[in-house]
Amino acid sequence: MTLLLLAALTLWPRPAYEPVRTEDAARVQELVRGFESRSVRRAQDAVRLRAEDVIPGRFVVGVEPGAADAAAAFAVCQGGTVVRDATEAGFIVVEFPAETDAAPLGQDFETLRGVRYFEPDCRVRICLFPNDPLFASHQWDKWLMYADKAWDVVSGTGVKAAVVDNGTDYYHPDLAANFNTAELGYDFISNDTDPRPDDLSIPQAFHGTHVAGTIGAVTDNNLGVAGWAQVQLQAVRVLDDSGNGNTSDVALGIRWAVDHGADIVSMSLGSQSAPTALVDACKYAEDRGVLLVAASGNEGDPDINYPARLSQCVAVGATDSLSRRASFSNYGRQLEVAAPGVRILSTAPSSQYGWSDGTSMAAPQVSGVAALVMAANPGLSAKQVRGILSAAAIDLGTSGFDQHTGYGLVNAGRAVELAGEVAAKLSSQPGPRVRVVGTEGFQVPEWAESAEVHDALGRTAASWQTGTDRLVRLKPGAWFVRLSGSGRTARMKVLVAR
């Protein structure tokens, strides 16, 4: 088996490995400034609705605090039904008969005090490319991206990654250990806490499980495939088993992941429309320091799908085994990086494994590498992680950034090295990110309003809210802390001495 694998790997020669250069750290900061300025240019994130994506009779009503009840009552008076109360996210979802004329109805809604917008809900679907039954049974993609060099340094523990998709078979023996049974995720299709697909026999029901395995299948367990990072996985089901859904549920899925401590939200799905609820959710995540990674789409067009097209997201394109843009991969000026998306082997429901193509398979590669970068330097912001992924990428095609492969092929080895380089730069700044504290625990900084502590497996060990003693008592060992407050967030590694 080993000889066969080594022989097969020669079919995909790796690009020349480049060590981290001194100027790369400066490049990260330059890219971070670029992301910040891009986020300011909200015109790029304007709401876009395409007629083909509109779900007849289903509308999203954006409401100010306190206005939801009046909007819901008005909907009922007009013959509608409230099917989703998402006031915590700033909207409700209402349904009317499919033949309802939306224009006058929208005008009536928008005259109500506290209504911000009235828009159709839109279809969203997985970015899937059909399977090829002759795919080779090994993970050439991770070898090509220098996983071996990254894994020599870090495993990815202490990071939470949410898979916003069509559900994950968390019973899979190659995934179960990286799920927390007390927080498996959430199912916005069935509105319960069981985010497993309902019918595993449906062909596309494999999708979320495949994506989750690429990010976080258990590594070094003598079973199946190796995932990129040993993260705590969260399954957020926003699409049905066939891979169809709506943008309002995607928006709620993003918000759920952010509110439940996700560091990374991976989205292998897309739409040609970006309603306000989806744009707001991505801004919500960005404002709270959560990294959003999304697939560019599989139409082979110069038109990146949403949400990847939004400035808050890392838009990921797919490459083939020769590191060329995959023919199906969407491209454009919003594309940020590329990763293998052809003949990708990963987990499938019912303890199985399978191969698939698509930018759906490329996006979780980047999410997994991002988790390694975060684990290597817990003090990095989401924008700094984005900068590292781009600065460390292997340039492909036209020199520098290009619209077909972005900044290039994500290089896990260089990215982890560069995270260490940036950590050295940060260590000279006030407020070290790695702290050795006394034998009792650590003192929460004055600016923080809340803190959540995780162990190396991503399990919650302690939490703290403002108004109580700022000393969080912990047993000796290494802990990962997420701080929030005053409009900012921070992560740090805490070492409690014996």
Q: What is the pLDDT of residues 358-374, one digit of tens each?
A: 999 999 999 999 999 99
Which of 102, 122, 142 is a domain's end point?
122
Q: Among 278, 270, 265, 327, which residue's Cα sits nearest to residue 297?
A: 270
d(CA 75, CA 56): 16
Query: Does a structural domain hold residue 7?
Result: no
Q: What is the pLDDT of residue 137?
A: 52
The one catalytic residue among 45, 121, 141, 165: 165
For residues 99 and 135, state if they share a domain: no
Query: Does a structural domain hold residue 42?
Result: no
Torsional class of 477: left (φ above 0), alpha (ψ -120 to 50), beta (otherwise) = left
Q: Which of the residues in the chain have pLDDT under 50? A: 1-11, 42-43, 129-136, 428-437
Q: What is the pLDDT of residue 139?
A: 83
Neighbours of 181 (CB within 10 A): 7
Whether 207 is catalytic is yes
For residues 238 and 154, state if they share a domain: yes
Q: What is the pLDDT of residue 435?
A: 44
For the chain, how far is it from start to end, CA to CA, in angstroms? 46
Q: Name the residue range of residue 449's domain.
A: 434-496
For residues 411 and 455, state if they share a domain: no
Count of domains forming the chain: 3
For residues 295 and 184, state if they share a domain: yes
Query: Does a structural domain hold residue 328?
Result: yes
Centroid of chain to Cα 402: 23
The one catalytic residue among 24, 172, 187, 207: 207
For residue 396, how many C-alpha atoms fall within 13 Å in the half-sphere facing its CB? 28
Whether 360 is catalytic is yes
Query: Does a structural domain hold residue 8?
Result: no
For residues 184 and 198, state if they share a domain: yes
Which of 423, 448, 471 is a domain's end point?
423
Whether 390 is catalytic is no
The one catalytic residue among 360, 367, 390, 455: 360
Tokens of 328: 């199906």
For residues 361 and 480, state if they share a domain: no
For residues 109 and 138, state if they share a domain: no
pTM: 0.79
Q: What is the pLDDT of residue 148?
A: 81
For residues 148 and 99, state if they share a domain: no
For residues 312 and 371, state if they share a domain: yes
